[in-house]
Amino acid sequence: MTYHTIVPFAIFVTLLAAYLSRESPIRPSKVDYLGAGTFSAGIVAFLVAMTEGQNWGWTSINTLGLLATSLVFFVLFLLVESRVPEPLINLTILSKRNVFFTNGGLCCWSYDVHDVRVDCVLGARPATRR
């Protein structure tokens, strides 16, 4: 299949799904802005620390400060999500062993895939010990 056959097929399937789909009888849930904000702040602080840690130095005040900030925001996120009626992430489901270990395995796998992408696609080499 080529681009010229896949795109019309995708458009057809999308239109068909929109035509055949019915409105859900379940009322829309409220957006948890506080949870979204705390999670976003935590993930941004963590990613900036991981991205710039090599340049700033892993023990620099900037890197350690961002890591501490991300930890604070993640703890706030957990506190917020445990108290709101309609959380972004239902934390009670993580108490199930299968769900917890599946998510942990996916996190490890995604880290490995990212490492392979950096190594192979971008031509960079991971830091080596000296």
Higher pLDDT, 49 or 22: 49
Cα distance between residue 114 and residue 107, in whole Å: 11
Tell how far CA 30 is from the center of its chain.
Answer: 21
Which of 39-43, 93-97, 114-118, 124-128 has the highest mean predicted lDDT (pLDDT)?
39-43
Mean pLDDT across the chain: 84
Backbone torsions φ then ψ of 79, nearest 5 degrees: -65, -45
| pLDDT single digits (tens) 47-66 | 999 889 889 999 999 999 99
pTM of the model: 0.63
67 and 49 Cβ atoms separated by less than 8 Å: yes
Cα distance between residue 52 and residue 96, in whole Å: 35
Comparing CA positions, the residue from 96, 100, 126 lying closest to residue 111 is 126
